[in-house]
Structure 1
Amino acid sequence: MEFAKPLPTSLVKRYQGWRATTYSENKSWYMKLADEGQHPRGLIISCCDSRVNATSLFGADTGEFFIHRNIANLVPPYEPNRDYHGTSAAIEYAVNTLRVVNVIIMGHTQCGGVAGCHAMCSGQAPELEEDTSFVGRWMDILRPGFDRAVKSSDKEEEQVKELERQSVLVSLENLMTFPFVRDRVEAEDLTLHGISVNIKTGELSHYDPAQGQFIEI
């Protein structure tokens, strides 16, 4: 495997700094995690965007959240015969094996995946319509949200903002198509949450079903 190279020196130095400080100061906690396994209370499904960091946002310790990241924080519908197994496997493991009690879908502003979905669905990105586009076929999950977004406004900018919110709502809807998620929700043994982070202002909003909208926290 001659194409693989050692880590860049800059990353090696940053790791060594972490090992000498954060790890050294919390060594007993890391050993406990290794010996006793993980017991996170929540699953967070967030975007791959490098500007979004759930652990920093909530000031979480290592081992507190089970985190799955994908383009545009999407959850596919429950379809065992489809090739969406990465996200679905993470949900199954978190809900059935780790027995998390919260599942949080974390969307964000200025999402490139969402913008790409809007461009694709509005005919502005034909390359994403190609069968060979992994991004395009993944963003197909959000097409129902696009249909709602275009009804919300005639302005493209507002449609994209609404589609960012729809990425959270579509994912929440799709979560309930998983039988093992629905069973635990109906048994009041599992709660689902939808949140959105404004990466420019740092503001956090959560979806309030009673009001049918996102409310700033």
Structure 2
Amino acid sequence: MMDFPEKLLNGYHIFMKSRFTHERERYKQLAYEGQKPETMVIACCDSRAAPETVFDTDPGEIFVMRNVANLVPPFHPDKEYHATSAALEFAVQSLKVKNIVVLGHARCGGIRNALDLDGAPLSTVDFIGKWMGLLTPAAEAVATNTLMTSGERQTALERISIRYSINNLRTFPWIKRREDQGKLALHGAWFDIATGELWIMDRRTGDFIRAEE
């Protein structure tokens, strides 16, 4: 049997000796009273852009859903399995979060896949290709724009995808209803891994504005 990753085990030991020891009462409170986060973050699976690290949050502060390229599909109830929709349902209907943040990031592999219109699938079923197909119209428009560099096209689609996901959030009736009632706010943000910059989407215009340090 394969050994458990030593790096993770060492990290756990450090966690127990430092953070858990200092925050033992907080963890105990969370265990017995449950979580009450006010914000849900929909982030990418990318190991370089963990929202708990980017926003320096404590345990129990944010409810996180991560998938390839931080996408939210449209509301589509059927008999299939919907991990992102299930997480949204729990966060909004049970936890009553007050904010949903779609957090994109620079150099996203999923976005790069969407822009590679002739790329070969990673497997015969092409799960990633089908998932990123949610962005096909926008990806085709951006990928064929010869006036932009490859880096500009990448950044453009990363930010467009955030707007796309926020629009799709509003197709969920219980999300739209709570937003209209002023009980829920939808936000977009984009994180640059190389520079550490965080860009916040203006909720009125859709423009991305760099957050002041």
Q: 2:181 aligns with which of 187, 192, 195?
A: 187
**Cα deviations across residues 62-97 of structure 1 (Å, max 9, x unaligned)?**
000000000000000001127450011000100000
Aligned length: 210
TM superposition shift of 1:208? 1.1
1:77 aligns with 74
2:112 aligns with 115
SS in 1 for 2:96: coil
Tell me if the contact between 1:43 and 1:100 (Cα under 8 Å) persists in the aligned partners: yes
TM superposition shift of 1:139? 0.5
In the superposition, the TM-score normalised over structure 2's length comes to: 0.91
Q: 1:139 aligns with which of 132, 145, 153?
A: 132
2:54 aligns with 57
Does residue 215 (structure 1) correspond to residue 209 (structure 2)? The answer is yes
Tell me if the contact between 1:106 and 1:168 (Cα under 8 Å) persists in the aligned partners: yes
1:116 & 1:98 partners in 2: Cα distance? 34
TM superposition shift of 1:15? 0.8
Tell me if the contact between 2:36 and 2:60 (Cα under 8 Å) persists in the aligned partners: yes
Q: Root-mean-square deviation (CA), in Å? A: 1.9
2:19 & 2:127 partners in 1: Cα distance? 37
Q: Give runs of aligned pairs for residues 1-217 of structure 1, distance below 5 A.
A: 5-81=2-78, 83=80, 85-119=82-116, 122=117, 124-127=118-121, 132-150=125-143, 154-157=147-150, 158-217=152-211
Which consecutive unaligned segments of at least 5 residues does structure 1 have?
none
Matched residue type, 2:130: R
Matched residue type, 1:205: W
Tell me if the contact between 2:37 and 2:63 (Cα under 8 Å) persists in the aligned partners: yes
Tell me if the contact between 2:20 and 2:27 (Cα under 8 Å) persists in the aligned partners: yes
**Cα deviations across residues 31-88 of structure 1 (Å, max 9, x unaligned)?**
0000100000010000000100211211110000000000000000001127450011
Pick the structure with more helix per residue. 1
